[in-house]
Amino acid sequence: MEKMLAAVLLDFDDLRLEEVPRPVVRDFGDVVVKINSCGFCATDYKAIKGIRRNVNFPFIPGHEPSGVVTEVGPGVTEFKEGDAVIVQPSGFCGRCEYCRTGRHQYCEHAFTTGGDGPVDVRPGAFAEYMLTVDSSLFHKPADLSFNAACLTEPLSGAWKGVVQYSEITVGDDVVVIGVGSIGLLCMMVAKAAGAGRLIAIDASDYACKQALALGATHAINPRNEDAVKRVYEIIPKGPDLVVEAAGPIQAVKLMVDLRRRGTRWNVFGITTPEKFELEGGPTHFLEGRMDASFGTNPLAMSKAIRLMESGLVNTERIISHCFPLEKMLEAVEVMGSPDRNKIIINP
């Protein structure tokens, strides 16, 4: 059996580079992809560091890949060996009620490659090769780099949250709390969708500077000033849409404090089981609308590819570091630094 190099998580804070069996096709619809690029997501980092605990060991993380097809199984007709592809990490059955109504992210028989959410978690893309299925593949546009293309999944999540769920409209005043890589993508989607004033809030001066460079009209560091007061100085009538893309519970609480009547707000970034409170009466009379968005689906992936292909969003602009797979442990260290943006692993 042929071997390949992979980053294998044996326990929390115990990630090792190991030679493991290279995957091969076995079932109907199987496809093996040679990984060219894979984004390093915060959820990967949380699994490696034990911040999230829903991990079964051994585990190969990495769920934002692009690459080249090297082997196809029976029944695969849309893809062939040598095709450059983008991989949706979440697999779906296509037959359950959720899939038949276009809500593939709720699929009753879902799996994920290198991510989290479903019970069925399969080896991911921090490896030289990965096994997936043809229904999770998209053809990579020829003029899109593998590094840009691997960020289709997080961009699709940003599109799904900001456009499909929170229904941004042209001219909306938008606040994005947390402008790491996913927050920047939410911000860039909002800009492409015609946001009016676009305010980035982040406790990192580095992140604020990046947000301004990528289209934010204003940036606020809550360590330096009262964020709520400053937002209402910029937008006296308050924001139309607030997206929490940070993760910490403090960001969710700030989002709640920023509401005015009719504000739409999206709990996008927090994934840990922490609590926040809403006061009943004011919540009722403010008549805001809370959305949340997780994961992706084929529609969102297709929209993300269109955004990149048309030049409306350039995902390469959020990449700050690239590492070969052999330097995976160094990449983990940089992930813990505040002065970085999106990290790409190139097996």
For the stretch 66-99, pLDDT in tens is 999 999 999 999 999 999 999 999 999 999 999 9
Q: Would you say residue 273 has pLDDT above 90?
A: no
Q: Which two tokens stand for residue 16?
A: 């090792």
208-259 pLDDT per residue, tens: 999 999 999 999 999 999 999 999 999 999 999 999 999 899 999 999 999 9
- The residues, ordered by sequence, that sit 6+ positions from 99 with a Cβ below 8 Å of its Cβ are 92, 93, 107
Mean pLDDT confidence for 285-302: 94
As a whole number of Å, the CA-based R_g of the chain is 20
What pLDDT does 21 receive?
A: 97
DSSP annotation of 161 reads I
- pTM as predicted: 0.96
Lowest mean pLDDT among 13-22, 105-114, 195-204, 263-272: 263-272
What pLDDT does 338 receive?
A: 86
Task: For residues 138 and 103, give the distance between their C-alpha atoms in angstroms, rounded to a whole number.
Answer: 18
Task: Look up the CATH superfamily of 3-154+296-346.
Answer: Medium-chain alcohol dehydrogenases, catalytic domain (3.90.180.10)
pLDDT band at 27 (very low <50, low <70, confident <90, very high): very high
For residue 72, the cross-strand partners are 31
More confident residue, 313 or 117: 313
pLDDT band at 271 (very low <50, low <70, confident <90, very high): confident
pLDDT band at 262 (very low <50, low <70, confident <90, very high): very high
CATH number of the structural domain 167-292: 3.40.50.720
Q: Which two tokens stand for residue 269?
A: 């970034």
What pLDDT does 100 receive?
A: 96
Q: Would you say residue 154 has pLDDT above 90?
A: yes
What pLDDT does 57 receive?
A: 96
Share of the chain above pLDDT 70, in %: 100
What pLDDT does 149 receive?
A: 98
Whether residue 162 contacts residue 56, with contact meaning beta carbons closer than 8 Å, is answered with: no
H or E element at residue 254 = helix 249-257
Count of Cβ atoms closer than 10 Å to residue 69 Cβ: 20
Angle of helix 181-192 versus helix 152-159 axis, rounded to 10: 60
What pLDDT does 332 receive?
A: 98
What pLDDT does 224 receive?
A: 96
Q: Taking the domains of the chain in order of start, what are their residue ranges?
A: 3-154+296-346, 167-292
Task: For residues 9 and 61, give the distance between their C-alpha atoms in angstroms, rounded to a whole number.
Answer: 8
List the one residue out of 5, 325, 341, 14 whose CA is nearest residue 178.
341
What pLDDT does 274 receive?
A: 87
Mean pLDDT confidence for 54-59: 94
Mean pLDDT confidence for 202-212: 96
What pLDDT does 1 receive?
A: 79
Share of the chain above pLDDT 90, in %: 94
Mean pLDDT confidence for 137-151: 98
What pLDDT does 207 receive?
A: 95
